Amino acid sequence: MTPFRLLHQSSTCAARCGEITTLHGTISTPVFMPVGTQATVKGVLPEELEALGAQIILGNTYHLFIRPGHELIRSLGGLHAFMHWQRPILTDSGGFQIFSLRELARITEQGAEFRSHLDGSRLFLSPEDAVHVQEALGSDIMMVLDTCIPYPAGRDEAARATALTGRWAARCKKALSGTGQLLFGIVQGGMYPDLRRQAAAELVETGFDGYALGGLSVGEPKELMLEMLEATVPHLPADHPVYLMGVGTPEDLVEGVYHGVDMFDCVMPTRNARNGMLFTSRGRLVIKNARYREDPRPVDEDCSCYTCRHFSRAYLRHLFQSREILASQLNSIHNLHYYCALMAAMRDAIAEDRFGDFRREFYARRETPP
């Protein structure tokens, strides 16, 4: 039985809202997942994450496998107890991290052999290992181990990697121990629509609790990413959640929802916050700019986050220029609140069947700088 329940489908596009049931609660979709790679969302307390509207966060299997180790986390009550977060958690399988460290890795039919980026020690992760590690972590949603494809990549390379991802996905499903955790398959295929359609069909035949689109937002033009969404999402079952991995900007989220995507994650809100770049309803604001030195306004006058309720642009600029830790904290709270509020607004718009109007208004507001 699928964990996904469709609540409303837009009458004008593929946007939809629904619910995903997990061991640690129900998630309203579409949803954005703050990234907590090392079992922490940088600079933000768990209670602050709850207050700003985060429903689910993402951890990373590769990093937690290397440090501090999944068995240690299991012995301390699992990832939820370890990081003091009792809402749902999704763990990425580590395939992208292994890909990004490919100079230290060798991919074979059996799995990924790689060297730790910390101390150079030799490690091995098979599809079965990826599942067992995630089961030990206790995440609510696990991802299959996949083979990521660079951009650009030739057709033959993309076809080989996509086929291997499909075989690994089947092995991941067979490795399940019946814990009640959900397992999502990952559609690869590079920038080749037919390969993505074929990968989607094979994963659906194997059968997973949800389906993710991997290998996008890796340097390709936005138009090509949207083309891949259009080529893939309609071939995934409508009664299962669809997850676009590692995406992205606010515009990406709006367009992803427009094309039928239910789940997103990206490091951008917190990474950009640490670099002084803030998201607002009117576009991006770079807080270090001299124009904000005496600006008494909040970051976004339409925002109700803790940062905007209590602090001026002038103060935030002062903190950033002084390299104060509080700058990263307050900026991260604002950016994550903006992302979560954006998703909530889209859920409301879909439920009221006015997503087309919402999308037009979203872009119209960006015509006036913050």
Residues labelled catalytic: 92, 265
The span from the CA of 319 to the CA of 323, in Å, is 6
- The C-alpha R_g of the chain, in whole angstroms, comes to 20
Nearest to 365 by CA among 251, 268, 269: 251
Question: Can you say whether residue 180 is alpha, beta or left, with left for phi > 0 and alpha for psi between -120 and 50 degrees?
Answer: left
Nearest to 132 by CA among 223, 86, 190, 64: 64
Q: State residue 261 phi and psi, 5-degree precision.
A: -85, 145
The answer to whether the beta carbons of residues 301 and 285 sit under 8 Å apart is: no
Token look-up 């790679």 returns: 37
The span from the CA of 128 to the CA of 175, in Å, is 5
DSSP helix, strand, coil percent of the chain (3-state; round to 5): 45, 20, 35
DSSP state of 104: G
Token digits for 147?
A: 């083979």
The answer to whether the beta carbons of residues 27 and 7 sit under 8 Å apart is: no
The span from the CA of 209 to the CA of 236, in Å, is 12
Token digits for 326?
A: 């509080």
Mapped onto helix, strand or coil, the DSSP state of residue 49 is: helix
Q: Where are any strands of DSSP class E within 73-192?
A: 89-92, 105-107, 112-115, 122-125, 141-143, 182-187
Nearest to 93 by CA among 48, 59, 118: 59
- At 175, which amino acid appears? A
Token digits for 139?
A: 């995440």
